[in-house]
Amino acid sequence: MMKVVYIFWLRQIKKYYRSKSRIIGSLGQPVLFLLALGFGFGPIFQKAGQGNYLQFLAPGVVSMSIIFFSVFSGIEIIFDRQFGFLKETLAAPVSRFSIMLGRTLGGASVATLQGLLVIIIATIAGFRFDVAASLSLLLLFMFLIAVLFTALGTAIGSLMEDFHGFQLVVNFLIMPLFFLSGALFPLEEAPKILTAFAAIDPLAYGVDGLRGSLMQTTHFGLPVDLAVLFCLSAIMIALGAYFFSKAQV
């Protein structure tokens, strides 16, 4: 089983690094958010007594990069189905759970690397944090976010056969999750209706965990963030494996 997981994990990594245009293209939206919002709303945020907006915004933009890259990795299942590779894969004498787990871990690893690139860009733009004190916890939160949403993308990709339908469904889910997660605004100052939505938004715990590991400030608390992400990741892997096992070729 572990050999199969490793093979599909390695395959996802290789596919990522073979596509330089994909790497560059996926950085466009995070850079736009950092520059346009970080510097555009920075003076307003500072006048409101909230400090440096770029410092607040950067963890949210990192989470955005991870979640978009993670979920859209599920579209590869539709590509594989269209070109016949999925049929060959599922015909192999190995468990579908091993295949799904390898794909999920590979996609999550790539999404985590993508998040690290965004942190480097944010640092160049002026974001500051203590690398030595927060690196291990930062990587853990980034990887948990990536695993959760890569498994979600796998589940959606296993259920759908149309590229356009996949994009519509993903955007319908991901955009509200991102905007209600507290990535762009402090939850402490938000209306109660928004904080209520954030409490049931899985990405909110990821953003809070990233902000806590990078800036030592949290809304829910790091133990709660870790517990929620661990539980949801396990549940989503189980659901993704189930739907992948039922995928039609």
User: Mind listing the pLDDT tens digit for each residue in 109-140?
Assistant: 888 988 998 998 888 888 887 776 678 899 99
Over residues 142-158, the pLDDT tens digits come to 999 999 999 998 888 88
Phi, psi for 52 (deg, rounded to 5): -80, 115
Report which of 102, 240, 222 is spatially closest to residue 158, judged by C-alpha positions.
Answer: 240
Whether the model pTM is above 0.85: yes
- Name residues whose C-beta falls within 8 Å of residue 231's C-beta, 6 or more positions apart in sequence: none
d(CA 67, CA 27): 13
User: How far apart are alpha carbons 212 and 235 in whole angstroms?
Assistant: 24
Any idea how long the chain is? 249
Q: How confident is the model at residue 202 (pLDDT cuts 50, 70, 90)?
A: very high
168: which residues sit within 8 A by CB, 6+ positions away?
none
Q: Looking at residues 166-185, what average pLDDT do you find?
A: 85
pLDDT, position 8: 58
Compute the average pLDDT of residues 27-41: 79
Q: Where are the domains of the chain?
A: 2-245
- Phi/psi of residue 48, nearest 5 degrees: -80, 0
What phi and psi, each to the nearest 5 degrees, are found at residue 38? -60, -45
**Cα separation of 67 and 210, whole Å?**
13
Handedness of CA 7, 232, 68, 88 (dihedral sign): positive
